[in-house]
Structure 1
Amino acid sequence: MGSRIRTAAGALAAAAALGLAAACGGGGGEEPAKSAAAASGDPANPVELTFWSWVPNIQKAVDAFNAKHPGIKVKLETITPGPDGGYAKMLAGVKAGNAPDVAQVGYDSLPSFLVNGALEDITQYAEKDAAKFVDWQWQTGVFGGKVYSIPQASGPMAFYYRKDLFDKWGIEAPKTWDDFAAAAKTIREKDDSAYISTFAANQAPWMIALAQQAGQQWFSTEGDAWKVTIDNPDTRRMAGFWQKMLDDKLVKTEADMSNGWYKDLQTGDIAGWIGGSWGDAIIRGNAPKTSGKWAVAPMPQWPGAAKFASASWGGGSASAVLKGTDHPAEATAFAVWLTSDPESVNILLSAGYGWPSIKDTSRIPNLQQDDTVFPFYGGQNIWDVFKEADAAVGLDWRWPPVSDALYSTLTDNAKAAVEGDGTLADAFAKTQTAMVEQLKAKGLNVVATGG
């Protein structure tokens, strides 16, 4: 593998020119398009691939692939997720010429990988497989009309709630955000120790998902420049809603996935959670004695919405083919099989990797009947809710090549607002100002911003 990483400023400018935040469609390259499935290797002299991932028990899926593809041998190496773990090693490996062939990369980090010259153009091997995948998930790996990754899974949002308590309080699952606020008020009146939910200022991906569902996108490009519109009317409406919930003390302010939050799930002091599809396992694992008492409903909707809208917590994850691989066709074939073959998808679901990226989930056994999950939720097939939610994620949401800074800045600003230093609307406005500076610091042009 060669060392072909570009300078940061030049790469970022090139990425903006390609239309990072307005990517669409497949295509690119002069060679005829080939299906990834056609790459099978030679059993007598198998191609060797290295795959880096952090998904627990994903080795089972890798073993299944190797058994069915004797001409390709995939070796799994487990990594730590995030910018200071596996990502740093991947980027260093690309620069040194010894990166893995395929690596798990979050949808939110793909733009950063692209501008660092770390992704291989796999358009000719992958574009015929696009129809297998949910449109918005497929688009996360498409930049400037070229394909750089295969979607793995997402975290579509829904509302987990204690149905037994809602029934006792005479409340139905909220269909709108106004319903959500009314239910929150009723809960406080019925039980002064209970809350409908918590405002998780510790979770930037959660707050971003709330903004994504509210409407207007945060990042886009105009020509060769980025436009930042975090401080927009839809986000301000969402922030104002949650500010009033905080001011009226209708939600708790403790961090979710903290010890206190887990205890509140167990006791019913937290009666609901707007979470991703993978959150099912978190609730089951930390409040096992509440089995049979929970249900899942779609995310509440904003008034006047033309159609049902949802969002995905942190986007999701992709199998990215890294720059410099000697076997792009075989690497793409593995990436496509990993998240489209029913046997593999079923294995990964059991490992808690997220919602499948494929459109047709009818042949995934664990989505049709799950003797562990369904009884916990009173016999409900909760996956029907998440399938609808994933299909309702907007196509126009794009991540910037500064997602790490976005997460840390938004979390700091939101925590300050919750503690009384300004409002949540102020927190989003401050985050916009900071992101403009971050993009400029990386050598990018930024056009006039605002909602």
Structure 2
Amino acid sequence: MSISARRHTRMATVAIAGAAAVALALTGCAGPAEKPADGEPVEITFQSWVPNIDRAVDAFNAAHDDIHVTLETITAGPDGGYATMLSAVQAGNPADVVQLGYDAIPDFLINDALEDITPYVSDAKDLFVPWQWQTGVFGDKVYAIPQASGPLGQFYRADIFEELGIDYPKTWDEFYEAAKVIRASDPDRYIAAFAFNQAPWMIGLAQQGGANWFVPENDSWKVSIDGPETAQVAEFWQKLIDEDLVKIEADFSSEWNADIQNGDVVTWISGSWADAILRGTAPETSGKWAVGAMPQWKAGENVSATWAGGSANAVLKGSKHPEQAAEFAVWLNSHTDSVSILTEIGAGWPSIVDTAAIASLQDAPEVFEFYGGQDIWDVFAESDKAVDTSWSWPPLSSTLFASLTDNVKAAVDAGTPLVDAYAKTQADMVAALTERGISVD
């Protein structure tokens, strides 16, 4: 058994034991499979927030006459689609297949909201990258099929860097020096936004800095949100804030969109899927952008991270057609035609092992043109290989996200140190896990 497999086995033990201790199992349960009329396809529903994923669903329906999938668009995140999904499970009328972030799978597991799909997907394991497959495996059971990861890279305005004579920053020290040049070049211009609203972004920076916030050990969780690696990252961004070298604003806000469009924010550290967002947000800047690897803490290293891990598709507890739902989830994320569509629409970096047959990775004229002819997928392929796969997502990730964003925003508003915000988040998570009966070391 691999290190990753052992880690997730221990993780499952901790999560499930915690759930049992506080009796959190929801009332929804799988009933007898509903049989369609003779000659009619099995009808299943799929909930996802990914824009344009209907193209992949349509491809599945066109290739299958025994299963028909209806797409339901939901809002991403714990306060949107996730809450709707869990409520539907409790009410006994869930969708069959749903989109979940890797970070959310433990939350759904401890709420007994996922079907064990092991009998239907055991032959699919070798199709997927091992660490991504393991995000849906707990103990010896499979609960989700990986869709895509979100390896980090840095999108940057190559034209502005060239105009100012700045070499691409390969280290964080060089990033700091570039920030000073960019800030001095225009009173409205910043190297980056400090996105206090994005817990996945802040977590990715900490992960890339060598932090590992949640480690399952001896049927317990070791929580280290405020450790030295995170402190180094927090203190670096604190310096940028104190010297007015980054703009404090929420990304995806109207202000941020305008800054991306007009060149007042000239870099964006984000997942591979951000390409589609950037092209949609600032189409008039086509040809001016490029993508580079994450700056390193030590010159010559190659360490990367992800934006909240990635996304998976899971079958909800109570589905009347778990076998067909699982078949759809595997096809959606492994058939090369479908994966090519998912990559093109910005779903993330593919979870399948063999990416050579994915057409949209081999030839993407619209994408490459936007980045001045650069094949940006080479950057994200290397980033994905450099991700520290020992990172584990804990139960209550929605609590983690809310606590981190609240505490960091409070620190920024009050002018107090960011390291204190991470210490407060550490205390919040230990208290939340303990309250749910989950053992914490």
Q: Structures share a fold, TM > 0.5?
A: yes
Partner of 2:401: 407
- Structure 2 distance, partners of 1:80, 1:255, is 18
Q: 1:42 to 1:369 in 2, by over 3 A?
A: farther
Deviation at 1:381, TM superposition (A): 1.0
5+ residue gaps in structure 1? 1-13, 22-40
Q: Which amino acid aligns with 1:236?
A: A
Partner of 2:122: 127
- Structure 2 distance, partners of 1:286, 1:54, is 18
Q: 1:421 to 1:55 in 2, by over 3 A?
A: same
Partner of 1:311: 305
* More displaced stretch, 113-122 vs 138-147: 138-147
Tell me, yes or no, if the aligned pair for 2:213 and 2:225 is still in contact at 8 Å: yes
Q: What SS is found at the alignment partner of 1:275?
A: strand
Partner of 1:242: 237
Partner of 1:77: 72
Q: What SS is found at the alignment partner of 2:57?
A: helix
Deviation at 1:353, TM superposition (A): 2.0
Does residue 116 of the first structure (1) align with residue 111 of the second (2)?
yes
Partner of 1:184: 179
Deviation at 1:16, TM superposition (A): 5.7
Deviation at 1:354, TM superposition (A): 2.2
Partner of 1:11: none
The CA deviation string for residues 26-60 of structure 1, in whole angstroms up to 9 with x for no partner, is: xxxxxxxxxxxxxxx99946433222222233222
Partner of 1:416: 410
Does residue 344 of the first structure (1) align with residue 331 of the second (2)?
no
Correspondences of 1:51-200 after superposition (within 5 Å):
51-200=46-195
- Structure 1 distance, partners of 2:397, 2:339, is 28
Q: Which amino acid aligns with 1:330?
A: Q
Size of the aligned set, in residue pairs, is 414
Deviation at 1:248, TM superposition (A): 2.1
Deviation at 1:428, TM superposition (A): 0.6
Q: Which amino acid aligns with 2:332?
A: L
Deviation at 1:207, TM superposition (A): 0.5
Q: Which amino acid aligns with 2:422?
A: F
Q: Which amino acid aligns with 1:139?
A: Q
Does residue 372 of the first structure (1) align with residue 366 of the second (2)?
yes
Q: Which amino acid aligns with 1:62?
A: V
Deviation at 1:379, TM superposition (A): 0.5
Q: What SS is found at the alignment partner of 1:156?
A: strand
Partner of 1:287: 282
Q: 1:88 to 1:289 in 2, by over 3 A?
A: closer
Deviation at 1:142, TM superposition (A): 1.4
Deviation at 1:425, TM superposition (A): 1.0
5+ residue gaps in structure 2? 1-8, 17-35
Partner of 1:430: 424
Tell me, yes or no, if the aligned pair for 2:102 and 2:311 is still in contact at 8 Å: yes
- Structure 2 distance, partners of 1:267, 1:194, is 10
- Structure 2 distance, partners of 1:283, 1:327, is 38
Q: Which amino acid aligns with 1:61?
A: A
Tell me, yes or no, if the aligned pair for 2:57 and 2:69 is still in contact at 8 Å: yes
The CA deviation string for residues 274-302 of structure 1, in whole angstroms up to 9 with x for no partner, is: 12222222322222222111110011112
Partner of 2:264: 269
Tell me, yes or no, if the aligned pair for 1:43 and 1:71 is still in contact at 8 Å: no
Tell me, yes or no, if the aligned pair for 1:15 and 1:115 is still in contact at 8 Å: no
Tell me, yes or no, if the aligned pair for 1:277 and 1:386 is still in contact at 8 Å: yes
* More displaced stretch, 250-259 vs 228-237: 250-259
Partner of 1:37: none
Does residue 221 of the first structure (1) align with residue 184 of the second (2)?
no
Q: Which amino acid aligns with 1:157?
A: L
Does residue 231 of the first structure (1) align with residue 226 of the second (2)?
yes
Q: 1:17 to 1:128 in 2, by over 3 A?
A: closer
Q: Which amino acid aligns with 1:273?
A: W
Tell me, yes or no, if the aligned pair for 2:15 and 2:109 is still in contact at 8 Å: no
CA RMSD of aligned residues (A): 2.4
Deviation at 1:439, TM superposition (A): 0.8
Tell me, yes or no, if the aligned pair for 1:43 and 1:72 is still in contact at 8 Å: no
Tell me, yes or no, if the aligned pair for 1:119 and 1:323 is still in contact at 8 Å: yes
Q: What SS is found at the alignment partner of 2:334?
A: coil
Deviation at 1:411, TM superposition (A): 1.0
Q: What SS is found at the alignment partner of 1:339?
A: helix
Partner of 1:442: 436
The CA deviation string for residues 96-123 of structure 1, in whole angstroms up to 9 with x for no partner, is: 3322221111211110100011112222
Deviation at 1:339, TM superposition (A): 0.9
Deviation at 1:399, TM superposition (A): 1.6
Q: What SS is found at the alignment partner of 2:247?
A: coil
Q: What SS is found at the alignment partner of 2:319?
A: coil
The CA deviation string for residues 382-438 of structure 1, in whole angstroms up to 9 with x for no partner, is: 111112212222211122221122112111211122234421111111100001111
Q: Which amino acid aligns with 1:224?
A: D
TM-score (norm 2): 0.87
Tell me, yes or no, if the aligned pair for 1:19 and 1:143 is still in contact at 8 Å: no
Deviation at 1:149, TM superposition (A): 0.2
Tell me, yes or no, if the aligned pair for 2:56 and 2:341 is still in contact at 8 Å: yes
- Structure 2 distance, partners of 1:387, 1:164, is 24
- Structure 1 distance, partners of 2:13, 2:395, is 13
The CA deviation string for residues 135-191 of structure 1, in whole angstroms up to 9 with x for no partner, is: 332221111232110011222211111111111211111111111112112223444
The CA deviation string for residues 275-333 of structure 1, in whole angstroms up to 9 with x for no partner, is: 2222222322222222111110011112178x522122122221102223344332222
* More displaced stretch, 263-272 vs 321-330: 321-330
Q: 1:17 to 1:299 in 2, by over 3 A?
A: closer
Partner of 1:30: none
Q: Following TM superposition, where does structure 1 have runs of at least 4 consecutive aligned residues deviating by more than 6 angstroms?
A: none
